[in-house]
Amino acid sequence: MRLLTTLAAFTALGVGALAAPQVPRQAKELEIDQPNGKHLLLSSFRGKVVVVQFLFTTCPHCQAYSQELTRLQGEYGPRGFQALGGAFNEADNNMVTNYVNQYHVGFPVGVMQRETVTNFMGFSLMDRLVVPQIALIDRKGVIREESEANPSAPPPLQNEQHLRQSIEKLLAEGASTSKSSGASKSSGSVKKPLSAR
C-alpha cells in the first residue's frame, strides 16, 4: 500500500510539472542587470503594460522580435507601454551591448540565467525552451499572456497584429479606469445654479 501511495504521489508531481502555468497570474519579481550597471526591477514598471522578451543574442527570430518591440516602444511608450529584454544564452555584457547596438534595440536588455527565465515563466527546468519567450503583463503586474515553453506553432504573441491588439486592449483597460475615476470626481462637484453661469 505504501508503494502505491508513493507511486501516486510521484505521478501527481510529474503531471503537475508538465501542466502549463496558469494565466492570468501575478508576475514574480524580475531583475534586469543592464550592461551599463543599472539594475531594473519589473515592479518599478507597475502601472505600465509590459512585454518581457527572453532571448538568445544569436537567434534571428529574437533579433527580429526585438526590432518589432522597439517600433512598438516608440509608438505605445507615451501611452504607458514598456518593453524589456533578458538574454539567457550564456550571454555576457559585451554580447548584450553588441546585440542592442547591432539591432538598434530601443528598450532595456540585460543578462539573465536560464533558471531565472524558467522560474518567471512557470516552466520546469526540464522544459526545452524555444526562443523568444514572451510575457505580456498588465498595469497591475499580472501576466495576461505568455508563450509556451516549446510550442508546436508560432505563438500568438509573435504575431504583430495579435500583439498590437493585446497591448491596445491592456492600455485601454488602464485608460478606461482613469477616465471612469475622473468622471466620478467631476460628477461629485457642485454645480452652479443656471443664473450664476
CATH number of domain containing 125: 3.40.30.10
Tell me if the pTM is above 0.85. no
Give the three cell numbers for residue 7: 507511486
Does 25 map to a domain? Answer: yes
Contact between residue 145 and residue 154 where contact means Cβ atoms under 8 Å apart: no
- CA gap 107, 87 in Å, rounded: 13
pLDDT band at 50 (very low <50, low <70, confident <90, very high): very high
Strand partners, 135: 52, 146
Residue 19's pLDDT is what? Answer: 63
Average pLDDT over residues 135-141: 98
pLDDT above 90: percentage of residues in the chain: 76
Higher pLDDT, 104 or 10: 104
Please identify which residue in the block is written with the cell numbers 508531481.
13
Please name the residues in contact with 26: beta carbons below 8 A apart, sequence gap of 6 or more: 141, 142, 143
Residue 85's pLDDT is what?
98
Inform me whether the pLDDT recorded for 2 exceeds 80. no
Whether residue 76 lies inside any domain: the answer is yes
Amino acid present at 100: V
- Does a structural domain hold residue 10? no
Pairwise pLDDT comparison (14 vs 61), residue with the higher score: 61
Domain enclosing residue 130, as ranges: 20-173
For residue 11, being part of any structural domain is answered with: no
Task: Note whether residue 86 is domain-resident.
Answer: yes
Asked whether residue 6 is domain-assigned, the answer is no
Decide if 181 is inside a domain.
no
| Mean confidence (pLDDT) of the chain | 85
In the three-class reduction of DSSP (H, G, I as helix; E, B as strand; rest coil), residue 19 is classed as coil
pLDDT digits (tens, 9 = 90+) for 18-47: 566 899 999 999 999 999 999 999 999 999
Total domains in the fold of the chain: 1
pLDDT bin (cut points 50, 70, 90) of residue 178 is very low
- Mean pLDDT over residues 6-17, rounded? 42
Given a cut of 90, whether residue 170 has pLDDT beyond it is yes
pLDDT at 80 over 50: yes
**Residue 191 resides in a domain:** no
